[in-house]
Amino acid sequence: MRQLFLFCISICCSNFINGQNLVPNGDFERLIGCPKSLSELTVYNWNNTVVESTADIFSNCTHSESLANPSILHLQPFEGATYIGLKPAINGSGYREYISCKLKSRLKNGKTYRVKIAVAIPDECSYRVNHIDFVLSSMPLTGTFPDDPLIENPSVSFSLKNIDTLSKWKTYETTYTAEGDEAYLCIGNFLKMKKSDLVKIKKKDKYYHRLFENCAYVCLDAIEIVALDSPPPVIESKKENVERTKNQEIKTIPEPIILDNLLFETASAKLKDDEIPDLDKIVTYLQNQPELKAVIEGHTDNIGSDQSNLTLSNNRAKSVIEYLVLKGIAINRLTPKGYGASQPIANNSTSEGRAKNRRVVIRFE
């Protein structure tokens, strides 16, 4: 993931820029915090459309025995560490689950967009629905259990009839021509159900789990909406917050950059190297974008006390700032923030997970 972000910056600095994904956090990797329960949707930008229903989250940052760990479905994420699970239908019930987000910018009338998603059906569920739908709208959808929101004509509908292997990801892609002003995306099963739309796929076996009894279930990851033949965006291929200023210029703020290979002396905030290529790329980027500021976040694994980890993470963030200032970045553009072990992105019970959690994050403002 770190290499991908740095590659994006290198592309930006070289003026070779691709179209941006208009779906914020479409891979669900930006977490508000590691989920403590299956139905705790702790991902930035996404929410449950219907208050009475809750989508599920599966992330490798959780303990291996947690219901929110991907191991419960015998399905690892399509990419990264996290994916979302939905119940699009339950046999004999009107209950359905939907997730929604606000796009980074409104779609333009007559413009064609590529729509893409990765879908998997886990071994544990009893039924399959024949489709998963996207609704793009100018206003956010809302609904109440059990019948809303039902849409007669979804913007995009992907047929799931050709999924013949359970617990294996399959990517779907199509195009959508915008009516104009669409600013919100909602995903789920919107069509009125016919008897043939809910297909029995398996009986109870060694993978059976009561959470998925008598229901259809789909896992979602890597969601994209990208304008075709679009002019290059202002900064880079991944943008996060888009704001219109009074003069209607667009200010774009890149997504955070994760640096998990910075070398510090053991239990110390002192950087081991005097020259660090990854940080030098950040320097170049900030020099080329003088309007941006950055919050430097320090994160640790869970070895040691909470207070010592908090202090260490804050001091390491300050060390990175000292490096950037030494390279010519004004200190008033940089803010340190230490989180200790409170925001893991991987499982702390393994050495690989702890290594990922020991990281510095550059978050632009």
Residues of the chain with CATH 3.30.1330.60: 239-364
Burial (CB count within 10 angstroms: exposed 0-12, middle 13-18, buried 19+), residue 54: middle
The confidence score (pLDDT) of residue 286 equals 87
Spatial distance between the Cα atoms of 234 and 244, rounded to a whole number of angstroms:
13
Region for residue 68 given its phi and psi (left: phi exceeds 0; alpha: psi -120 to 50; beta: otherwise): alpha
Q: Could you say which architecture CATH assigns to the domain 239-364?
A: 2-Layer Sandwich (3.30)
Residues of the chain with CATH 2.60.120.260: 19-227
pTM of the model: 0.60
- The DSSP secondary-structure symbol of 93 reads B
Q: Decide yes or no: CATH 2.60.120.260 for domain 19-227.
A: yes
Alpha helix positions (H), the chain: 2-13, 277-288, 306-326, 351-357
The confidence score (pLDDT) of residue 108 equals 94
Tokens of 219: 């896992």
**What is the mean pLDDT of the segment spanning 129-134?**
91
- The DSSP secondary-structure symbol of 21 reads B
In the structure, what pLDDT confidence band is assigned to residue 234 with cuts at 50, 70 and 90?
A: very low
**What is the mean pLDDT of the segment spanning 79-96?**
87
Tokens of 96: 């359905």
The confidence score (pLDDT) of residue 63 equals 85
pLDDT digits (tens, 9 = 90+) for 291-317: 888 999 999 989 989 899 899 989 999
The confidence score (pLDDT) of residue 268 equals 78
296 vs 16: which has the higher pLDDT: 296
Q: 57-61, 83-87, 171-175, 256-260: lowest mean pLDDT where?
A: 256-260
- Residue 281 burial (CB count, 10 A): 18
Range 91-97 contact pairs with CB under 8 angstroms and sequence separation of 24 or more: 91/126, 91/127, 91/198, 91/214, 91/215, 92/214, 93/146, 94/145, 94/146, 94/147, 95/53, 95/145, 95/146, 96/50, 96/53, 96/146, 96/188, 96/189, 97/48, 97/50, 97/53, 97/54, 97/55, 97/188
Tokens of 332: 């008033």
The confidence score (pLDDT) of residue 144 equals 66
